[in-house]
Amino acid sequence: MMVKIQDSVYLVTGGGSGLGEATAKLLLTEGARVTIFSRNEYKNEFPHDQVLSVKGDVRSESDVKRALEATIQKFGKLDGVMHCAGVFQNGDELFNMDTQQPGDYTVLTDIVTTNLLGTFNVNRLAIPYFLTNQPDEEGQKGIIINCSSTSGHSPMSSAVAYSTSKAAIIGLSYALAKQLSTLGIRVMDIAPALCDTPMFRRAVGFNQDIANFRNLFPARLIQPIEYANAVKHIIETPMLNGSSYQLDGALRP
Q: What is the pLDDT of residue 198?
A: 77
Helices (H), the chain: 18-29, 61-75, 105-112, 118-130, 150-153, 160-180, 198-204, 224-236
pLDDT band at 208 (very low <50, low <70, confident <90, very high): low
> Which residue is catalytic, options 10, 162, 227, 245?
162
Residue 237 among known ligand-binding residues: no
- Active site annotation includes 162: yes
Residue type present at position 167: A
* 66 annotated to bind ligand: no
Q: Give per-residue pLDDT as tens, 168-187.
A: 999 999 999 999 999 999 99
- Of the pLDDT bands very low, low, confident and very high (cuts 50, 70, 90), residue 219 is confident
The pLDDT score that the predictor gives to residue 207 is 46
Dihedral (Cα; 40, 195, 86, 143), 10-degree rounding: 100
User: Is residue 16 a known part of a binding site?
Assistant: yes
Nearest C-alpha neighbor of 83 from the set 35, 135, 29, 33 = 35
Give the model's confidence band at 252: pLDDT under 50 very low, under 70 low, under 90 confident, else very high: low
pLDDT tens sequence across 57-105: 999 999 999 999 999 999 999 999 999 999 988 778 889 888 999 999 9
Complete domains list, the chain, with CATH: 9-247 (3.40.50.720)
Judged on CB neighbours under 10 Å (0-12, 13-18, 19+), 148 is buried
- Name the amino acid, one letter, at 206: F
**98 known member of a binding site:** no
**What pTM did the predictor assign?**
0.93
Question: What is the structure's pLDDT at 213?
Answer: 63
